[in-house]
Amino acid sequence: MQTRESVYINGRWVSARGDGSIEVINPATEQHIGSVPVGNVDDVNDAVAAAREAFPAWAQSSIEERQGFLNAISAALAERTDEIAELITSEVGTPINYSKMAMVGTPRVVSRSYAKLLDGFEWEGEVRNSLIVKEPIGVVAMITPWNFPLHQIIGKVAPALAAGCTMVLKPSKEAPLNAFILADIMDEIGIPAGVFNLVSGHGREIGESLASHPEVDMVSFTGSTAAGVSVSQAAAPTVKRVTLELGGKSANVILDDADIAKAAKMSVYACFNNSGQECSSLSRLLVPVSHRDEVVDVIKDTMSRYSVGNPMDESVRCGPMVSARQQESVSGYIASGIAEGATLVAGGEGMPEGQDKGYFVKPTVFADVTSKMTVFREEIFGPVLTITTYETEEEAIALANDSEYGLSGGVWSGDEERAMRVARALRTGQVSINGGSFNISAPFGGYKLSGNGRELGIHGLEEFLEVKAIQR
């Protein structure tokens, strides 16, 4: 049981000034596993004031000092990998092996990557008679989601620290406990008071207060598109920078010259990582009409061995949804697919076999999905894969781009030049070719309603910088 009673402001654990606490529920067992305090506007004001006071000194800190803290964070995460992974699995329901790799391993590497990136980063350059100077933007508000809780936090905290910014973090209320462990780590490594602050609470109060605060210079938000719009609206009167990493409904295109069996099998994992609760999930599979039956057969066979259950079991591939609300939402989409006439290949309505508690759904695959169906158009955020057929390469590209989102995508082909041509035609922030692996040094972000701005790598660092031209 992790019971937290204080928030972290100005280098100290202090009592939150809101009323009550937020209970954290294990989605696999429906048991209470901890709680965090409810902060309020007064806590936000205190945290922002602390960050503002700390900013001038931190902005002038040496590169070596920043690198030291970034490496210390990475080392602490490595040392506590099992503990943090088990905690996040208990909060989110992520299968434990994936939790160790993606939920803790990736943040550890990202933190270290920014320490390395600082070695060669050019803070100044000359353009004719001007000196172009890059400077930290200031105080940053960070509002983070539950699905990759620590990864999304470190994806903001690490570049902000590297840039010389100070910050106030508001973690998700579904999975906040890992953020408190990060605050413990910050305290243990001696991060200067006010550089990092943590205020937990409800998004409507804490998030809106941070987004609208006149002393906050930037908001970095990850979450739903609707919430991102609200953050942008709250931030607009103070004309602060806002970066948004939002929803997705990404297409995975199998071309007719691909290794069809391999592409079909891998499409399951590309959709169902983190139990499908992933904004960049490749949830729309586009296949040549001539290979429809082969793809369906391979996926049906793969799904017959796709295990669902206790996420602490290392053999399990799919855990529960994060909450009863999310379970209800995903179940509604599964019912919609059936009602609108899609062909059910695997899964369906109800609880998976052998599960009588927890927020589980059946990992589900639909074939013969048209572009007008709800399951093709709306982000489901759960383990639901749709299969849509096409006649020509041009139609495949049109279907892939037929979305209000543009976060990720995939292309499978035996011809790299052809795959690259299709990848370039997709209106999306990332594309993997033949299952190309995730790169923590490449920019992550989306087109259209998937957001604006980029995280990770040098592009992620530059989001936290202002640019000044000094003429001489």
The reply to whether 207 falls in a domain is: yes
Q: Are residues 53 and 160 in the same domain?
A: yes
Task: From residue 313, give the alpha-carbon distance in Å to each of 30, 88, 308.
Answer: 17, 14, 10
pLDDT of residue 56: 98
pLDDT of residue 1: 81
Q: Are residues 137 and 43 in the same domain?
A: yes
pTM of the predicted protein model: 0.96
Place of tokens 């209106």: 427
Q: Are residues 151 and 292 in the same domain?
A: no
Task: From residue 260, give the alpha-carbon distance in Å to each of 294, 389, 397.
Answer: 8, 14, 18
Q: Are residues 386 and 275 in the same domain?
A: yes
Q: Are residues 238 and 259 in the same domain?
A: no
179, with CB counted inside 10 A (0-12, 13-18, 19+), is buried
Q: Are residues 186 and 100 in the same domain?
A: yes
The reply to whether 97 falls in a domain is: yes
The reply to whether 381 falls in a domain is: yes
Q: Are residues 281 and 294 in the same domain?
A: yes
Q: Are residues 456 and 420 in the same domain?
A: no
Beta bridge partners of 466: 135
- Number of compact structural domains in the chain: 2
The reply to whether 141 falls in a domain is: yes
pLDDT of residue 115: 98
Give me the CATH number covering residue 430: 3.40.309.10
Alpha helix stretches (DSSP H) within 246-371: 260-272, 292-304, 324-339
Q: How far apart are the first and last CA of the chain?
A: 61
Q: Are residues 162 and 268 in the same domain?
A: no
CB neighbours of residue 433 within 10 Å: 15
Q: What is the amino acid identity at position 258?
A: A
Q: Are residues 255 and 358 in the same domain?
A: yes
Give me the CATH number covering residue 109: 3.40.605.10
The reply to whether 33 falls in a domain is: yes
The reply to whether 47 falls in a domain is: yes
Question: Containing domain of residue 415, as a range?
Answer: 251-439
The reply to whether 302 falls in a domain is: yes
Q: Are residues 160 and 228 in the same domain?
A: yes
What tens digit of pLDDT does each residue of 393-417 get? 999 999 999 999 999 999 999 999 9
Active site residues: 245, 279
The reply to whether 444 falls in a domain is: no
Task: Enumerate residue ranges in the chain where pLDDT < 70.
Answer: none
Q: Are residues 307 and 386 in the same domain?
A: yes
Rg (CA), the chain: 22
Alpha helix stretches (DSSP H) within 273-415: 292-304, 324-339, 374-377, 393-401
